[in-house]
């Protein structure tokens, strides 16, 4: 059976040493009152306990049993309810929530570490509260004070959950097509009718109530995405004093049979004249929903890192224990029937690829968390604005690059096990099935790539991009920085490629979509190069304090620069080949 151990030492390395987060927290008043280095460490320690001891043990049984639907109600697998109750007692759902309504006000930089542990332990379980946290964020940012006061406290507590109701059968990426309707009622609320699909946690038996955030169209709404409004529609109606009243006209029609995350209920949710309340302005629902969506996008990115971390831990253990064949340079364990397979160069290549991408991802997620904290809590307007621009730029990269490389790492981890990786017993095949969804939901990775290149780089005239690359150049400028030459070359390449694409897009709008996925990959590899250089820089300076730990960081950085970063060359060539070869076939000739 696989076992999950939270990578606490690595997380502290990123938080304290690479980003010196406690110093940042100390200068941001809204954070300084809640957190310092010791609090953060205590929280990480406790998070490690909860995720590895309470939640991880339910991962396999949850997959085997799956969420079940019967007569309109979803039941989660055995053990989920009890674990959930213990979990919410710890206040985890409101970890980075608004303290005015019962949240703990912790920095996002810390919360991303916790999210990684949660997904690493059990992706299905993690989703039930991930959606709640995102829904809270949207309510906190856009809803009326009354709605906030009514809904946020029980949601931060975890007694009530959140859901995100966007997709309809005929409308996924293209939300302008939705048909769910909202009719105004006399009391200022609305009556919602329509059917939503793929609703994660749309029903479950863990919480007393579920707060659906629903995209719908008002009667007089303009066509397309500019005619979408956002509504709060509780499963159970709520009295003025916050107690539960009668059931709302919301029902769960069925759940999907999926490749993975089987313990997470993916629901069809029907609204049959259900009572709801407008969040934010009429017809501006898409923007309000994006507050939640962007949160979920980072969160789902982190699912990629979490699953990759577990896959790596399992594969590493197996590679140290499994005896098979001899090292190419001669037996290293002559007293045994064969050497452990970790002696083989190709097994090391697989493990190091996983290690480099997972730790690079953790550093990148922490960096995005840092920018989220600055955009929320900085008292310097320029700093706040820059951070918000960086968050917008980097969110699609985080979502897509973490999950693309997350699948790669889970597949590699499965490969290390040989035939044993394909059977249920070792847990590796479940990781591959579970992580695969992360490239698809919350906007497919293709959509993330279009968002990055089309909206965040080209439509932004490269302003946010320059903000980002300036940070890289600033780091790499002083003489003696590790991998200075490689890093400066890579960042120059990203800038040149971006400029070239900016020009190309003016000639032919197809150039954006023809380049976007590979461009996002180039972006990701360059960003990780920066983060690996930063990690190597810290490790070099601390080598004597813990030689084994810091040597491993330096070795992984070297592997990254030598064997992974070169991937940008081929990606760039493919991008520069342009869209022409994509459009020579008509649809019928495929």
Which residues ranging from 415 to 454 are in contact with a copy of itself (CB under 8 A)?
A: 415, 418-419, 421-425, 429, 432-433, 436-437, 439-441, 444-446, 449-450
Under the binding rule (CB under 8 A), the answer on residue 537 touching a copy of itself is no
At its nearest, how many Å lie between a copy of itself and the CB of residue 420?
8
* Distance separating alpha carbons of residues 230 and 138, to the nearest angstrom: 10
Q: Pattern 294-323, binding to a copy of itself, x per CB under 8 A?
A: ----------------------x--xx--x
User: What part of residues 566-585 is at the interface with a copy of itself (CB under 8 A)?
Assistant: 566-571, 573-574, 577-585
The answer to whether 414 contacts a copy of itself (rule: CB under 8 A) is yes
Contact status: 258 vs a copy of itself (CB under 8 A): yes
486 is catalytic: no
Q: Does 346 bind a copy of itself (CB under 8 A)?
A: yes
Which residues does 585 contact at the CB level (< 8 Å), separation at least 6? none
Q: What string of H, E and C letters represents the secondary structure of 371-410?
A: HHHHHHHCCCHHHHHHHHHHHHHHHHHHHHHHHHHHHHHH
- Binding segment for a copy of itself among 33-41, 209-217, 345-353, 535-543 (CB under 8 A)? 345-353
Angle at 105 between CA 101 and CA 107, to 5 degrees: 150
Q: Are 511 and 504 in contact (CB under 8 A)?
A: yes
Backbone angles phi, psi at 67, to 5 degrees: -75, 145
The contact pattern for a copy of itself, residues 134-173, with x = CB under 8 A and - = no contact, is ---------------------------------x--xxxx
Is 125 or 318 the residue whose CB approaches a copy of itself more closely?
Answer: 318
Q: Cβ of residue 531: shortest distance to a copy of itself, in angstroms?
A: 18
Chain residues 363-402 in contact with a copy of itself, contact rule CB under 8 A: none
Among 345, 380, 496, 499, binds a copy of itself (CB under 8 A): 345
Instruction: Out of 411, 427, 451, 467, point to the residue binding a copy of itself (CB under 8 A).
Output: 411
Burial class (CB in 10 A: 0-12, 13-18, 19+), 434: buried
Kind of pairing, strands 229-234 and 209-216?
A: antiparallel
Output 470 or 582, the one with its CB closest to a copy of itself: 582
Residues from 496 through 525 that contact a copy of itself (CB under 8 A): 508-514, 516-517
Distance in Å, CB of 341 to a copy of itself, minimum: 8
Closest by CA to 28, choosing from 92, 101, 107, 83, is: 107
Chain Cα centroid distance, residue 88: 21
CB 67 within 8 A of CB 77: yes
Q: Minimum Å distance from CB 198 to a copy of itself?
A: 5
Q: What is the CA radius of gyration of the chain?
A: 24
- From the list 71-79, 300-308, 342-350, 478-486, the region that binds a copy of itself by CB under 8 A is 342-350
Site for a copy of itself, residues 542 to 561, rule: CB under 8 A: 548, 551-552, 554-556, 558-559
Task: Tell me the three state secondary structure of residue 462.
Answer: coil
- On the CB side of 522, CA atoms within 13 Å amount to 26
Q: Report the nearest approach of a copy of itself to the CB of residue 175 (Å).
A: 10
Q: Between residues 186 and 337, which has the closer beta carbon with respect to a copy of itself?
A: 337
Cβ proximity of 65 and 263 under 8 Å: yes
Question: Which residues in 464-503 contact a copy of itself (CB under 8 A)?
Answer: none
Single out the residue of 188, 219, 328, 480 in contact with a copy of itself (rule: CB under 8 A). 328
Cβ proximity to a copy of itself: between 231 and 312 the closer is 312
The nearest distance, CB 298 to a copy of itself, in angstroms, is: 19
Among 351, 365, 490, 526, binds a copy of itself (CB under 8 A): 351
Distances (CA, A) of 563 to 242, 349, 552, 557, 558: 57, 9, 16, 10, 8
Name the minimum Å distance from CB 443 to a copy of itself. 9
In 3-state terms, what secondary structure has residue 244?
strand
Q: Which of 504, 392, 530, 495 minimizes the C-alpha distance to 452? A: 392
Interacting residues with a copy of itself between 179 and 218 (CB under 8 A):
197-198
* Contacts (Cβ under 8 Å, ≥6 apart) of 226: 283
Residue whose CB is less far from a copy of itself, 316 or 481: 316
Please pick, from the candidates 186, 240, 337, 381, the single residue that binds a copy of itself as defined by CB under 8 A.
Answer: 337
Residues 559, 352: Cα–Cα separation, whole Å: 7
Instruction: Give me the least distance between CB of 582 and a copy of itself, in Å please.
Output: 4
What backbone phi and psi angles, to 5 degrees, belong to 194? 160, 175
Q: Quick check: 491 and 530 in contact, CB under 8 A?
A: yes
**Per-residue b/e over 109-138, b at no fewer than 16 CB within 10 Å?**
bbbbbbbbbbbbbbbbbbbbbbbbbbbbbb
**Restricting to residues 48-87, which ones interact with a copy of itself according to CB under 8 A?**
none
Which of residues 1, 42, 259, 463 is near a copy of itself by CB under 8 A? 259
**Binding-site member from 53, 325, 379, 492 for a copy of itself (CB under 8 A):** 325
Q: How far is the CB of 337 from a copy of itself (least distance, A)?
A: 6
Q: Which is nearer to a copy of itself, 90 or 446 (CB)?
A: 446
Annotated active-site residue in 442, 486, 511, 572: 442
Q: Torsions phi, psi of 405, nearest 5? A: -75, -25
Is 322 in contact with 341 (CB distance < 8 Å)?
yes
Residue (140 or 486) nearer to a copy of itself, CB: 486
* 237 near a copy of itself, rule: CB under 8 A: no
Assigned token pair, 200: 């994660």
How far does the chain reach from its first CA to its final CA, in angstroms?
45
Q: What are the backbone angles phi and psi of residue 339, rounded to the nearest 5°?
A: -85, 155
Q: How far is the CB of 132 from a copy of itself (least distance, A)?
A: 21
> Rounded to the nearest whole angstrom, what is the least distance from the CB of residue 233 to a copy of itself in the complex?
21
What are the two backbone dihedrals, phi and then psi, of residue 267, each rounded to the nearest 5 degrees?
-110, 150
Q: Quick one: 112 or 539, whose CB is closer to a copy of itself?
A: 539
Q: Site size for a copy of itself, by CB under 8 A?
A: 103
Any idea how long the chain is?
Answer: 590
Q: Which residues are catalytic?
A: 442
């Amino acid at each position: 059976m696989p076992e999950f151990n939270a990578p606490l030492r690595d997380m502290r390395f990123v938080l304290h040493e690479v980003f010196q987060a406690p110093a940042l927290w100390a200068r941001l008043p809204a954070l300084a009152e809640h957190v310092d280095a010791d609090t953060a460490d205590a929280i990480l320690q406790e998070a490690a306990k909860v995720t590895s001891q309470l939640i991880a043990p339910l991962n396999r049984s949850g997959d085997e049993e799956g969420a079940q639907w019967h007569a309109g109600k979803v039941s989660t697998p055995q053990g989920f309810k009890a674990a959930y109750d213990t979990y919410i007692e710890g206040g985890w759902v409101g970890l980075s929530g608004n303290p005015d309504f019962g949240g703990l006000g912790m920095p996002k930089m810390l919360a991303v570490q916790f999210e990684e542990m949660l997904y690493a332990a059990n992706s299905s379980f993690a989703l039930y509260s991930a959606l709640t946290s995102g829904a809270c964020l949207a309510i906190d940012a856009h809803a009326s004070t009354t709605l906030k006061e009514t809904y946020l406290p029980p949601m931060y507590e975890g007694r009530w959950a959140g859901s995100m109701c966007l997709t309809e059968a005929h409308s996924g990426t293209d939300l302008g097509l939705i048909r769910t309707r909202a009719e105004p009622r006399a009391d200022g609320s609305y009556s919602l009718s329509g059917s939503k699909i793929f609703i994660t946690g749309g029903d479950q038996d863990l919480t007393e109530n579920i707060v659906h955030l629903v995209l719908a169209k008002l009667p007089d709404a303009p066509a397309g995405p500019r005619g979408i409004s956002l509504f709060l529609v509780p499963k159970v109606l709520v009295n003025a004093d916050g107690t539960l009243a009668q059931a709302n006209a919301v029902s769960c029609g069925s759940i999907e049979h999926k490749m993975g995350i089987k313990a997470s209920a993916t629901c069809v949710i029907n609204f049959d004249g259900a009572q709801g309340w407008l969040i934010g302005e009429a017809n501006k629902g898409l923007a309000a929903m994006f507050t939640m969506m962007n949160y979920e996008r980072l969160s789902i990115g982190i699912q990629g890192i979490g699953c990759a971390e577990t896959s790596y831990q399992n594969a590493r253990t197996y590679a140290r224990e499994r005896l098979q064949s001899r090292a190419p340079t001669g037996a290293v364990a002559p007293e045994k029937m064969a050497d452990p397979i970790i002696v083989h160069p190709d097994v090391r290549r697989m493990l190091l690829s996983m290690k480099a991408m997972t730790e690079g991802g953790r550093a990148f997620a922490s960096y995005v968390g840092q920018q989220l904290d600055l955009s929320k809590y900085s008292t310097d307007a320029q700093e706040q604005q820059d951070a918000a621009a960086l968050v917008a730029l980097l969110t699609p990269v985080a979502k897509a690059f973490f999950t693309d490389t997350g699948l790669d790492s889970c597949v590699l981890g499965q490969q290390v096990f040989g035939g044993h990786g394909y059977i249920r017993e070792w847990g590796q095949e479940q990781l591959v099935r579970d992580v695969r969804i992360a490239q698809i939901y919350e906007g497919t990775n293709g959509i993330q790539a279009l968002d990055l290149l089309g909206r965040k780089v080209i439509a932004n005239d490269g302003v946010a991009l320059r903000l980002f690359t300036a940070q890289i150049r600033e780091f790499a400028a002083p003489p003696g920085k590790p991998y200075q030459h490689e890093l400066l070359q890579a960042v120059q390449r990203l800038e040149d490629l971006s400029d070239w694409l900016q020009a190309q897009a003016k000639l032919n709008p197809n150039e954006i979509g023809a380049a976007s996925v590979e461009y996002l990959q180039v972006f990701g590899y360059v960003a990780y190069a920066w983060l690996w250089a930063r990690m190597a820089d810290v490790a070099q300076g601390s080598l004597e304090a813990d030689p084994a730990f810091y040597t491993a960081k330096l070795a992984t950085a070297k592997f990254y620069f030598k064997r992974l970063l070169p991937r940008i060359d081929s990606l760039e060539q493919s991008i520069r080949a342009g869209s022409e070869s994509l459009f020579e076939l008509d649809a019928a000739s495929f």
